[in-house]
Structure 1
């Protein structure tokens, strides 16, 4: 019989004895199945974690307080950002399709048109126009403030870190200058990185801040586009986005008016060239008559040629006048749904009666506001004032309608005049051709 002997370790009083656990890979396969699982393993591990945490409790509590304190400070000092949004409907101009190739290119041209409009909405010229109109140069979000601020540094840190993390762009320069703005800013667009040649440094920074706060979001599968503007001041953001939309509409109307003016100038130039050609042809004809002794002509032929020349000039002048009247008519038609913009139409501004009615209406509305709280809505004076307001408003609307109708009538009259002169010119050409045939015969 073989006896197994084990060395019993000696235990020193006051000292804890630790036994090394036997690793599972040191046991035979049959011994592994014979080892029972300890029921208290989970409790032992949790106890160890608790002991480790308790041992380093000061460091853990300090870290926890720092994190909570930082988050709390940022939460109470962070500036809330408000988003103002307005929606525009952009209608592409209809073209007269005259070929099959034009039909194939229609979709691509329309896509290019909308992309062009989006770029115009983001243009620095439109931003500069809006900033000038609202006098935003000294407004804090757009003012070029180079002074260092610890609060702006704390508020701008998350935005700046996010900017570097997302874009991966490494920029050189003093980091403190990036924190000197209001809460950090997004990365500049390609256009923002290339300011206009006439911009000063402060203007360029203000326009960059304006464009960084602006977002152009086309609505999918529609002709709508959303203009979004982010600022800490919600009221200012709403004012800016509305002004931007109005300036875009005004700019589009100006482009159309300039196109009409260019067409009118081109027609005038062509008229001058045609007049020179006619004068040259008349001189050559006169020389031919003198050389061939054919000075005498029939009175009827002289009258026909004279009328033909006069009608040619009259038709050209009528076309030019019709172009101008049509441009004004198209402009006023596009403004009919916008009373505020319609008030800026030159013909309405020049109408003294309309301006008098506006002044009278404003005075009546002021009286109604002042006496409304004192007298009550049913007081005879209030009833009289409301009646006067309705009457004045009706007169104002009627006069504006007359101005708009007058512009339309002028356009229709110019169109009718052009058609009439064109018909007379064609008839006169027929008489001249008939006379030439008789002369040949």
Structure 2
């Protein structure tokens, strides 16, 4: 059925591409009826929806306007960015210069208190050294008595390791007991004198340590601030620390910071003056005991020398008998070796005789005869067995004699070892140890 015209509504453009804000337009599409048009079933139901030429121009103008607006906004943004970058660069440079100046001023304050603390540490150390010089004599004297005491006690302990019958309570032991008692009394006297000096030196060192800790903090702070003052925009070891601008709860103020160092220096001065008054109390008792200690040392050495001579003589006599026993042991060992070889030498003839008897037992029939050869082989086996038994018996006797000699040798060697042990203890351990006995000057605290 033919139609004169169809009303078609234009579909809206996609949201991503907005052409223009025009109202939808109704177009009248005529049926193709011209001379060059087609008709018939092929075109039945055909419809179109195209833009108008005005809409095409309008869409292009819209794109031109959008491009111009974007470029203009971008140019304004670039101009503002350059201006803001220049302003912030100048501000950051001024701020950094001012911070560097403040850090430099802080470095001067730290250097002042660091110098004051260092001077006080040096003064306190000098005063303490003077007190230590006198205390050192007391300590040296006390330490010097430790050496004789350790020598005497070590001598007594070493001599306890002597073996019976050399474990005797002789003159040497009695002199050593006298020496230990004398040294113990001297040590008690020196310790009482040393106690007050040690307490004052401890106080001096405590306050010196407090000053050193404060000085160490100042040095570390100075190094940190000096490093911070050297930082600039070209430094390679800088990085972000987002939370570094927060103040800690325990931070101090410049006033409390300066007062802390002032109070530390004041207390150090007070202890320094106290140590001056103490250096006059230590000079009188250091030379009183050295002579007695050296005299007792000489008495002990003389007793040791006499005892060593007695043990050396007994050791030589035991060694004489041991040498003879060793020679006899060597001869007996050779004898035993000869007996064993003789027994071994009999084994081969015995094998020959027994093999002959065994083979002759294989003779057939009437040839299995008790002839003279058979009797001689039998007697040979018996003689060889008797010889071996006699040699073995003699071997047993020789081995028993060797064991007796070995027992005697062990007894002699044990006695010699006991004497050698006693000599080693008295001469190599005790007397050698006593060679390190302190001199009179060292016992008086001068060395």
Query: How high is the TM-score relative to the length of structure 2?
Result: 0.25
The structure that is helix-richer by fraction is 2
Rg comparison, structure with higher value: 2
Structure with more relative contact order (C-alpha pairs < 8 Å, separation 6 or more): 2
Query: How high is the TM-score relative to the length of structure 1?
Result: 0.25
